[in-house]
Amino acid sequence: MIRIENVSKNYRGSNRPALADVSLEIEKGDFVFLVGASGSGKSSLLRLILREEIPSSGAVHVLGENLVGIPSRRIPFFRRKLGVVFQDFRLLPNKTVGQNVAFSMEVIGQSAGLIEAAVPEVLRLVGLDGKADRLPSELSGGEQQRVALARAIVNKPAILLADEPTGNLDPKTSEEIMALLDSINQTGTTVVMATHDSGIVNRYRKRVIELREGQIVRDEKSAGY
């Protein structure tokens, strides 16, 4: 599902590579925690999987696509198969909860009927039933992250990428978001999550890939932080 082969990534002005000869495979249905200090390469790895970046060398294959050689016109179609959740939510402030979730379906041309049916269903799934008409500013941080999660999964992506999704949340809310991510994974969605939260990693005991200075130093199943 995700295959990264001998990938290095250099940024102009940096003394060392963000990623250095990284290779890994992630299978369908995996739940992977990416851990490591700030600057270790976690976000660079996620950007490569999303095709926001291309490697300086090496190969990246995701969902059967060669992301180094993929034509530019195909990139938006490829990204339709992925959901993304960020630490800072990235909601549209002038759109309601329902409109934020619907927007991710509208941009890929889903029908009005399908959107009308799917949005309430996914809001129920993330515990926001009855809040479709609220604006993001009327919600708590945890509720905003639930909206971001609903938006990421409403198109039923094969892969969900989560970059520090609990980073701005209190422990109780973080646990609720993690429970949602775990339940989404149980339905077959592959989840790749970058995190600094050792408590979450230690509780959930998923596959852990640890990065240090752009290199994988540990890749263990059912592991802790």
Domains observed in the chain: 28-57+76-220 (3.40.50.300)
Backbone phi, then psi, for 99, in 5-degree steps? -70, -35
* Residue-level pLDDT at 168: 86
E-strand ranges in 117-206 read 159-163, 190-194
Cα gap 5→61, rounded to integer Å: 9
Residues 169, 145 contacting (CB under 8 angstroms): yes
* Residue-level pLDDT at 214: 97
For the whole model, what pTM was predicted? 0.93
pLDDT (tens digit per residue) in 74-127: 999 999 999 999 888 999 999 999 999 999 999 999 999 999 999 999 999 999
Collect all residues with Cβ–Cβ distance below 8 Å to 189 and sequence separation of at least 6. Answer: 29, 83, 153, 156, 157, 158, 159, 160
Residue type, 149: L
* Residue-level pLDDT at 87: 86
